[in-house]
Structure 1
Amino acid sequence: MMERRLWREGSLGVAGKVWQTNWFFVLLILCLAAVGYVALYSAAGGSPEPYAQKQLVRFCIGLVIMVAIAMTDIRIISRYSWWLYALGIVLLLVVAKFGHVGKGAQRWIAIGGFQLQPSELMKIFLALALGRWFQKASYEQVGRITFLAVPVLAILLPVGLILKEPNLGTAVITGTIGTAILVAAGVRWWKFVIVIAAFGAALPVAYHHLHDYQRQRILTFMHPERDPLGTGYNILQSKIALGSGGMWGRGFLNGSQSNLDFLPEKQTDFIFDLIAEQFGLVGSLCVLGLLLLIVLGSMLIALRCRHQFGRLVALGISVDLFLYVFVNIAMVMGAIPVGGVPLPLISYGGSVLITAMIAFGILMSVHVHRDVEFPESDH
């Protein structure tokens, strides 16, 4: 009882924070990173270069970042939430002006040899900003249109900037994270009905404003067999790789689709196909189970948190993780159009990995500081 009272007063030291850490959740993260290392080692034909070794170095850096954020008082993170949001917007504007163009999109900026994708960070910063806004909001305030104007604009601004890159997948995920936080904060359901109806009515117009490659992805999703050696090649090879693994798989380093380079982007977007081909349905389900445990663990952190800021931020991160997994798996199965959405900690990529570790660090901070009390004036 005395420990809990001191904890609420913010006087628990580093040792106490380490004791409060959810080490089972950390173990799940380490296991997922190990799966990613094995998959990337296989993607290079049985070599740590060029993917696995670099990913391991990035993960170790990310692990230090995660621990540092986990030990940071969640109230300090809350205090700088809108500053981080502003930083994210500035980075998106820098991308629009000076960003690196790759595969027809302008999404990255080079910082010291590292390719940073600000849209990934923006999703986390948006969750922090919205959590801060609704931190002490009353039920009456949440019901006012004027009070909701700021969070709605805070969602639309980054979504619009990400759409201009163009990056439709990340823009949709960012908007979904913001919407989920609004729902959890208590925004009335009928407001969402109006927005959804307006969005549905605008879809035909929006389709004609898509880029050519985006429309092509939708058409390929509907009829991949019409151009099996062109636009339909990726998804057809993906389905072949998924089915060729059978129940137990072809064995480590023995996947024909991946070894013979039939499988496209096997180290990034289609890495789950590589796992399915080599380890079969059983191995695929094990990886999915691990991902599910991490998503459920993050949701449990949100439910156990006693303050609104932590609950909403943890929920936003949970939704982000879930959408990453759902969109990537549905994409490689051909259930949705192909888009550049990787698997966290498994797919090769620095921005996604570091962003995931930052998100995990914030989740850990929410869990460690789940019982702290925010000052009444801190809004």
Structure 2
Amino acid sequence: MTLIGLTRPELTRVLDDMGEKPFRGKQLWHWMYHRGAREFSEMSTLSKALRTRLEADHNLARPQPSREQTSGDGTRKWLFRFEDGREAEAVYIPEEDRGAVCLSSQVGCTLTCRFCHTGTQMLVRDLTSAEIVGQFMAARDSYGEWPTPTDETRQLSNVVLMGMGEPLFNFDAVARAVEILSDGEGLAVSRRRITLSTAGVVPMIERCGREMGVNLAVSLHAATDEVRSAIMPINRKYPLEQLMAALRAYPGVSNARRITLEYVMLKGVNDSPADAQALIRLVRGLPCKFNLIPFNPWPGAPFECSSMNTIRRFADQLADAGLTAPIRMPRGRDILAACGQLKSASERERLQGYRARLARLDPEARAAAEAEHGRAARE
């Protein structure tokens, strides 16, 4: 069993069950989450006997990338394969003086937002806290950022729970991951540098603020129920009136800690001056800022991206109303960095390879292989 993903009290209980004193838990935590140890043999402050006992029943495994790609703009993306063979993505997006690691919380997604490539993939399962934290630790491995550096020197300074999946549908595992990520004696990512993005799971929003205390981002993408329900089916269950009331009541929201509203620009759908004016009315009185996102299409996508002139006019209209609305230019297009694209590409390649292998088999062997493949897919 991996010890990655255990909270500090849980780790202490493991050692307590082994007859060890509580301070051993602190030492183990330091080696795991501050120094990034991959093997118990590295833990020189633990006795050899304890290291041997730990190795007998536990490990420090984190997800391993089945694919890693770096874009010309510095964006780096990993496709992580977990122990059951399932895969999810994480992305590092560098900025001028910092960078954010975007983590997945599920394999696939139950939501079917029409502009999101992950929305075309069925939900397979929730990720565990070990698999969520493990993505960040594997990213640290990739950049060699061990021991945990100070905020002033680290490249991987921020965490965004905005990858595959809806984090609030996997609340407990995500909350445990946030607890581990934000511990000052370990990975030490301040909760003010952790952002959770939701499509608008209204009943969980207040609890998110109260229990996790992280920054909140909301996939808004429309200013009317008619448009939002058409592109985001979750709006039929939690319409804008309910969502905006939940955002206004979010614990800790203030002008110093504004809610981020994500808004993907879809040609002819949500990008008119009337749409901008409706947005201005919708958010009046809410401490918020916008991210205007040019749509990043994929083959067969049902939308086109708004023109840059249209996006700039939209941004200017929001700015004239006193709203912060930067245009967030897409990153990593040359490595399929939009959420869900790398996983889909990997699956297509495996399917093509599978079909090529089938073509080389005799009819009886082909039938047996197809039956086995169908059984494995159902499981």
Same fold, TM-score > 0.5, yes or no:
no
More strand by share: 2
TM-score by length of 2: 0.29
State which structure, 1 or 2, has the greater radius of gyration over its C-alpha atoms.
Answer: 2
TM-score by length of 1: 0.29
More helix by share: 1
